[in-house]
Amino acid sequence: MSRRGFLAATGIAAASAAVPGLTGLSPLAHAADPQSDLANLVNLRFGMFNHFNLGTFTNEEWAAGGQSPAKFAPSSVDCAQWAAAAAAAKMSYGVLTTKHHDGFSLWPTAFGTQNVAYSGYRQDVVRQYVDAFRAKGLRVGLYYSVWDRTHTVQAYNGTHVKDPYQAIEPGDMTVVLGQIRELLTNYGTIDVFVTDGYAWQMGQQQISYQEVRNLVKSLQPNCVMVDHGALSQPWLGDAIYFEAPMGIRAPEGNTFAAIQGETISRGWFWHPHTATDAPRSRDAILADLRELEPKYTSYLLNCPPNRQGRLDTNIVNRLAEVGAAWSPNPSRAPLPAQPLRVEWPVNAVAAYASSYNPGEFAYHAIDNRSDRNVETCWSTWGGGRTLPQTITIDLGGVWSNVSTLEYLPKQWNRTNSTDGDITAATIATSTDGVTFTTVATVNWAANGRVKLAEWTNRNVGFVRLHVTAATGGYVNVGGVHVGGRSARPQLVSRFPVANTVYRIESRASGKVLDVRNSGTADNTPVQQWPWLNNACQKWTFISTGDGYFKIRDQNSGKLLEVGGRSRANGGTMNIWGDSNVFQQHWAVTPVDGDHFILTNRLSQRVLQVPGASTVDGTVLDQWDHTGEGHQQWRLVRS
């Protein structure tokens, strides 16, 4: 089924219309105190994680998407029993899997039918959970998987999703933001909001972390955001999440606010063996608590309810044993001062660099994707490339109150001497992408810790990081965040002017984008041709509202796109009807006063005249950015 057909069939289009402004900027929130919020989190010390969802009834850790919601059919759900067991263990809070990767929601969401309202248990489990835990004096956190295999909120990444045609689409933001709004509006104070299937699935750029964070903090300013991503540095949210069963544990000497997840049974969800297996031993749980408490890491112990909606007796008994033997250490020192962060990041739309190692191009500095032993980097390693090197980041518009840049060095397989860690650089900003002003000069230590640079709040549309020294003689950037720390950036302007007609002229050949033979059919090639003032050579730039543009042919009314959803170098250009998909979205980045790079949102490759051809009728394609003239375009109002 097509995306548009799926939305209509599940009622999501109607739901999004009923919730205005889902993809717009959320209202300004009163600034929270990050240090206090993180101190409150780590002072919770010990909590209960409850994996309870469709996988409980299908005997799957990761349930397949699109299954019948009727499979979720507990005879009852006794959240009061879960809360009593948590209190007996001297836990302080609970976290419920409101939606796992399959997409089934434990509350009656307005987005689709994969939820309790259409299940074998037609009651709001999230409501029962928050009420029961609060009745026991416990705090409440909610877990939410961004990856959703029913709504196909997922992207090809070569590992968990191997279908190259899977991609994030604009409608996915409607589902994600709409469901987060429901969870953080309807259930009272939420102390921690845990996301999963986000940084490690599609990355925090494709599903805009800017929009997610703005929404969360506008609704719940003191809520601590946590994302799974296997990092030991505070990068993917407010606090770190360590996943112990994956071998990701809080390191010795950790002073970053964190949560460490562990499971009391084999697997995160309940399985038929759970009731009879010996749970994690009392001594192992106590040892975990003793280890984590001085590391300022809250211990989140997963206790999976069974198909009757109750915790098995062996788990309840084990928790009682732990509670009888453990109490929090009142002498632990307060949480040390946490590093300053980009509290209000702006979602970058594109980036280009002076050079890169093949496959490690500039976009990887802004994709915010991370998983265990997997990282994407902008790297200039090898190939005889030397310093200095430069990366330019396009914020998709000019924003006010931009004051801060964070840099994440290489994290995995480090040598700690030749990892490309930046040790000296200048940072410059611009509002037009052409004239840059130096705002900071940095000298950073050569290690894997997150680095930060600050300057006075200013309007910024583009940020340039010019690296003059780095370990190993090359640059390796695992991630860059740009935004505000003391105030949330607000959009000031965008270019090109939306709904304005342009001809798009190649810098190298002087010829313009032209729809072959003035064609109007889907899949008609887009070529270069001398300017004849024809309607098939005139293009209207239409803002998508999030920093990208659709480029519409005046003659056919159809859009410029990368054919066949190609992500590869050489993918050719054609026109197609507006399908509101990423292969039809373009970042428009200036490189000098007259010329621009057009970067495709799906592939992150740039529009070019292949081989710098000057031949009439040459079909245009996409390629990694090289900085050459045949990849640069002049926009002339027509």
Give the C-alpha distances (Å, rounded to integers) separating 386 from 40, 389, 419, 472. 46, 7, 14, 10
Q: Which residues neighbour 619 within 8 Å (Cβ) at sequence distance 6 or greater? A: 516, 525, 526, 527, 572, 573, 610
Cα 550 from Cα 262, distance rounded (Å): 45
Residues 335 and 501: their CA atoms lie apart, in Å, by: 56
Per DSSP bridges, beta strands 297-302 and 258-263 are parallel
User: What is the percent of the chain where pLDDT is above 70?
Assistant: 95
Residues 6+ apart with CB under 8 A from 469: 387, 422, 423, 424, 425
For residue 159, pLDDT beyond 90: no
- pLDDT of 591: 95
Summarised one tens digit per residue, pLDDT across range 327-383 is 999 999 999 999 999 999 999 999 999 999 999 999 999 999 999 998 899 999 999
Distance CA 114, CA 105 (A): 6
Contact 550, 539 (CB under 8 A): no
Helix, strand and coil content of the chain, in percent to the nearest 5, comes to 20, 30, 50
Instruction: Give, for 262, the enclosing helix (H) or strand (E).
Output: strand 258-263
SS3 category, 469: strand
Task: Return the HEC string of 476-497.
Answer: EECEEEEEECCCCCCEEECCCC
Determine if residue 400 is left, alpha or beta; phi over 0 gives left, psi from -120 to 50 gives alpha, anything else beta: beta
Task: Give the other-Cβ count within 10 Å of 557's Cβ.
Answer: 12
What long-range pairs does 329-332 form, CB within 8 A, spacing at least 24?
329/293, 329/294, 332/293, 332/294
Cα(390)–Cα(132) distance, integer angstroms: 54
H-assigned helices in 44-78: 54-58
Closest C-alpha among 154, 174, 172 to residue 164: 154
Q: CA angle at residue 159 from 156 to 162, to 5 degrees?
A: 45
pLDDT of amino acid 162: 87
- Residue whose C-alpha is closest to residue 169's, from 20, 15, 5: 5
16 pLDDT band, cuts 50/70/90, is: very low
CA distance 503 to 484: 36
Q: What six digits make up the tokens of 494?
A: 């965008």
Check residue 212 and report its DSSP letter.
H
pLDDT at 23 over 70: no
Is the pLDDT at 20 greater than 90? The verdict is no
Q: Does 488 or 14 have the greater pLDDT score?
A: 488
From residue 509, alpha-carbon distances to 611, 632, 633 in Å are 11, 10, 10
Q: How far apart are CA 590 and CA 634, in angstroms?
A: 9
Distances, alpha carbon 333 to alpha carbons 47, 241, 330, 451, in Å:
20, 21, 8, 25
Pairwise CA distance, residues 405 & 392, whole Å: 13
Instruction: Classify 529 as helix, strand or coil.
Output: strand
Residue 24 pLDDT more than 50? no
Is residue 110 a contact partner of residue 25, using CB atoms and an 8 Å limit?
Answer: no
Q: In the beta sheet, which residues pair with residue 596? A: 590, 633
Are 361 and 392 contacting, i.e. CB atoms less than 8 angstroms apart?
no
Q: What is the pLDDT of residue 17?
A: 35
List, in order of start, the domains of the chain with CATH numbers: 3-325 (3.20.20.80), 344-492 (2.60.120.260), 500-637 (2.80.10.50)
pLDDT at 577: 98
Give residue-wise pLDDT tens across range 179-224.
Answer: 999 999 999 999 999 999 999 999 999 999 999 999 999 999 999 9
Q: Which residues is 276 bridged to in the sheet?
A: none
Give the DSSP letter string of 326-395.
Answer: ----TTSPPPPPPPP--SEE----EEEES---TT--GGGGTS--EETTEE--EE--STT--S-EEEEEEE
pLDDT for the residue 498: 83
Residue 278's pLDDT is 97
Is 80 exceeded by the pLDDT of residue 9?
no
Confidence of residue 1 (pLDDT cuts 50, 70, 90): very low
For residue 246, the model assigns a pLDDT of 95
- Mind listing the pLDDT tens digit for each residue in 120-138? 999 999 999 999 999 999 9
> Mean per-residue pLDDT for 384-397?
98
Q: What is the mean pLDDT of residues 432-461?
A: 98
Phi-psi region of 3 (alpha: psi -120 to 50; beta: other; left: phi over 0): alpha
Residue 176 near residue 168 (C-beta atoms within 8 A): no
Q: How far is CA 612 from CA 166, 259, 307, 502, 508, in A?
A: 31, 53, 64, 22, 7
Average pLDDT value for residue range 476-492: 97
Mean pLDDT of 154-163: 86
Cα 142 from Cα 94, distance rounded (Å): 8
Q: Evaluate whether 235 touches 338 at the Cβ level (below 8 Å).
A: no
pLDDT at 32 (0 to 100): 72
Q: How far apart are CA 596 and CA 433, in angstroms?
A: 10
Q: What is the pTM of this model?
A: 0.94
Q: Indicate if the pLDDT at residue 18 is higher than 50.
A: no
pLDDT tens digits, 229-256: 999 999 999 999 999 999 999 999 999 9
Count Cβ atoms below 10 Å from residue 109 Cβ, excluding itself: 23
Question: What is the SS3 string spanning 136-200?
Answer: CCCEEEEEEECCECCCCECCCCCCCCCCCCCCCCHHHHHHHHHHHHHHHHHCCCCCEEEEECCCC
Please tell me the predicted confidence (pLDDT) of residue 495.
86
Contact of 144 with 99, CB cutoff 8 Å: yes
